[in-house]
């Protein structure tokens, strides 16, 4: 579940700060973040968060927020699969608002350009380096074919080869086409198939892939379109990669994204509902 838990924390922090808004259920008249197009049938790990919350409520009722649980489980999941730990500061509170359209506006799109990615991360106080480093979260987990199949079949930009994005390694494009036949948008592929447990090995493999034009999403490939991005990808992919340390530094920063000023905050009893 490491990939799922990491992504939950990321999707939480990018919308209204790290306030567990991503965990709130839709109510009559309000579609919540988790049911937005960016998240529905894609975010996973809700049941695992519920398990942690239930145990905590047994021993320490009303003390540990759902937002802190998301930050801690993301870190602990990464450590569990071999990543390096980072300090998670605690004391986040849970918000009472969750709006689907806000996640569409704030979460980066898999079709984003480098400039759009930089802007999206800046909106939550993260810089260009954080953006490139945190993209390394794609060293684990999967993506649905629909998030990038336009690069395989519908590409009409400069240098397109029979509808295929020329910035994607041609041999790798063949492999991806086998895994993602046309009109199979729900098939899944590993974002980084390297390592002994594909999609589960927490290492610099993602940066090796991006450097070799094997980044799957257009947003992964976009890292090479800026000189800053390309050189940082090369550093992170190098034999003495600082990825583990850099990732922890940027995760800690991401985890500090504050809820909007004046927001009503609480420690939810149940992560699905406001108290």
Q: Is 219 in the site for ligand HEM (CB under 6 A)?
A: yes
For ligand HEM, the closer of residues 61 and 157 by Cβ is: 157
Q: Looking at 4-12, 18-26, 91-99, 233-241, which segment touches ligand HEM (CB under 6 A)?
A: 4-12
Residue 70 backbone zone (phi > 0: left; psi -120 to 50: alpha; other: beta): alpha
In degrees and rounded to multiples of 5, residue 142 shows phi and psi of: -125, 165
Tokens of 228: 């800053």
The closest of 183, 182, 16, 38 to 111, measured between CA atoms, is 38
Q: Cα–Cα distance between 167 and 206 in angstroms, integer? A: 16
Q: Cα–Cα distance between 144 and 157 in angstroms, integer? A: 22
Q: Tell me which residues are annotated as active site.
A: 11
Q: Is 221 in the site for ligand HEM (CB under 6 A)?
A: no
Q: Is 144 in the site for ligand HEM (CB under 6 A)?
A: yes
For ligand HEM, the closer of residues 89 and 273 by Cβ is: 89
Return binding residues for heme b.
138
Residue nearest to ligand HEM (CB): 141
Question: CB neighbours (10 Å) of residue 61?
Answer: 10
Whether 207 contacts 237, CB under 8 Å: yes
Q: Contact with ligand HEM (CB under 6 A): which of 112, 234, 258, 263?
A: 112
Question: CB neighbours (10 Å) of residue 197?
Answer: 10
Q: Cα–Cα distance between 42 and 35 in angstroms, integer? A: 10
Q: Contact with ligand HEM (CB under 6 A): which of 15, 66, 71, 147?
A: 147
Return binding residues for Ca(2+).
12, 15, 17, 19, 21, 33, 139, 192, 203
Least separation, in Å, of the C-beta of 75 and ligand HEM? 11
Q: Is 10 in the site for ligand HEM (CB under 6 A)?
A: yes
Q: Looking at 52-60, 89-97, 110-118, 229-237, which segment touches ligand HEM (CB under 6 A)?
A: 110-118
Tell me the per-residue interface mask from 35 to 54 with ligand HEM, x by CB under 6 A, - otherwise: -------x-x----------
Q: Contact with ligand HEM (CB under 6 A): which of 22, 23, 97, 140?
A: 140
Helix (H, G, I), strand (E, B) or coil at 210: helix
Q: Looking at 77-85, 139-147, 164-172, 175-183, which segment touches ligand HEM (CB under 6 A)?
A: 139-147
DSSP 152-202: HH---STT-BTTB-TTS-HHHHHHHHHHS-TT-TT-EEES---SSSTTT--
| Cα angle for residues 233, 11, 275 (degrees, 5° grid) | 155
In degrees and rounded to multiples of 5, residue 189 shows phi and psi of: -130, 155
Least separation, in Å, of the C-beta of 63 and ligand HEM? 27
| Binding to ligand HEM in span 75-94, by CB under 6 A | none
Q: Is 6 in the site for ligand HEM (CB under 6 A)?
A: yes
Q: Is the dihedral of CA 157, 159, 162, 165 positive or negative?
A: negative
For ligand HEM, the closer of residues 126 and 267 by Cβ is: 126
List interacting residues with ligand HEM (CB under 6 A). 3-4, 6-7, 10, 42, 44, 108-110, 112, 117, 134-135, 137-138, 140-144, 147, 217, 219
């Amino acid at each position: 579940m490491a990939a799922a838990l990491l992504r939950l924390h990321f999707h939480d922090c990018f919308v209204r700060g790290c306030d567990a808004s991503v965990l709130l259920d839709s109510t009559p008249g309000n579609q919540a973040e988790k049911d937005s197009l960016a998240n529905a049938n894609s975010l996973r790990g809700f049941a695992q968060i519920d398990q942690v919350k239930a145990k905590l409520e047994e021993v320490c009722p009303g003390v540990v927020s759902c937002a802190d649980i998301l930050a801690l489980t993301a870190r602990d999941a990464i450590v569990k699969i071999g990543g390096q730990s980072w300090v998670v500061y605690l004391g986040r509170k849970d918000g009472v608002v969750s709006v689907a359209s806000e996640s569409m506006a704030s979460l980066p799109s898999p079709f984003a350009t480098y400039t759009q990615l930089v802007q999206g991360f800046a909106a939550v106080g993260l810089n260009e380096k954080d953006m490139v480093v945190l993209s390394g979260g794609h060293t684990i987990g999967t993506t649905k074919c629909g998030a990038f199949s336009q690069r395989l079949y519908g590409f009409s930009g400069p240098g397109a080869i029979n509808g295929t994005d020329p910035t994607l390694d041609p041999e790798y494009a063949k492999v991806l086409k086998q895994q993602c036949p046309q009109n199979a948008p729900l098939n899944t592929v590993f974002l980084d198939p390297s390592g002994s447990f594909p999609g589960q090995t927490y290492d610099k493999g993602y940066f090796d892939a991006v450097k070799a034009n094997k980044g799957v999403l257009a947003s992964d490939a976009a890292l090479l379109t800026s000189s800053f991005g390309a050189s940082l990808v090369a550093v992170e992919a190098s034999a003495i990669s600082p990825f583990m340390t850099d990732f922890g530094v940027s995760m800690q920063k991401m985890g500090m994204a504050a809820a909007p000023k004046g927001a009503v905050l609480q420690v939810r009893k149940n992560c699905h509902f406001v108290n």
